[in-house]
Amino acid sequence: MAAPAPNHYCRVYGPLLIAGDIVSAVRPRQHRFLCNLDLLTDAVVHPVNVHYFTMDPPVTDEVVAFWGSLAHDGSILAEMDIFAVTMERFRWADVNAEDYLEHVPGGRRLMVNAQGAVEASTVDRTFTLAGQVWGNGRMNSFRIKVWIPDSPRWGNVPLPSHSQVVSVLGEIIRREPGGMYVIELLDISLPGRQQVPGQKTAPSTPSPAKRARYNTRGHNPVERSAAEEAFHGSSNEAGPSGSKP
Q: What is the mean pLDDT of residues 148-152?
A: 87
The domain in which residue 124 lies consists of 1-90+102-195
Q: How many domains does the chain have?
A: 1
Residue 243 located in a structural domain: no
Residue 206 located in a structural domain: no
Residue 211 located in a structural domain: no
Residue 212 located in a structural domain: no
* Residue 207 pLDDT greater than 60, yes or no: no
Q: What is the mean pLDDT of the chain?
A: 80
Residue 56 located in a structural domain: yes
* Residue 121 pLDDT greater than 90, yes or no: no
Q: What is the mean pLDDT of residues 79-106?
A: 92
Amino acid 167: pLDDT: 95
Flag the least confident range among 84-93, 135-144, 156-165: 156-165
Residue 230 located in a structural domain: no
What are the DSSP calls for the chain, one per residue? Answer: -PPP-TT-EEEEEEEEEEEEEEE-SS-TTEEEEEEEEE-SSSSPEEEEEEEEE-SS---TT-EEEEEEEEEB-S-SSPPEEEEEEEEEE-TTS-TTSTTGGGSS--SPPPEEEEEEEEEEE-TTSEEEEEEEEEETTEEEEEEEEEE---STTTTTPPPPPTT-EEEEEEEEEEE-TTS-EEEEEEEEE-PPPPPPTTPPPPPPPPPHHHHHHHHTTTT-TT---HHHHHHHHHHHH---B----
Residue 227 located in a structural domain: no
Residue 181 located in a structural domain: yes
| Whole-number Å distance between alpha carbons of 170 and 188 | 9
Amino acid 152: pLDDT: 86
* Residue 83 pLDDT greater than 50, yes or no: yes
Instruction: Using a cut of 0.75, tell me whether the model's pTM lies above it.
Output: no
| Whole-number Å distance between alpha carbons of 112 and 183 | 8
Amino acid 36: pLDDT: 87
* Residue 241 pLDDT greater than 70, yes or no: no
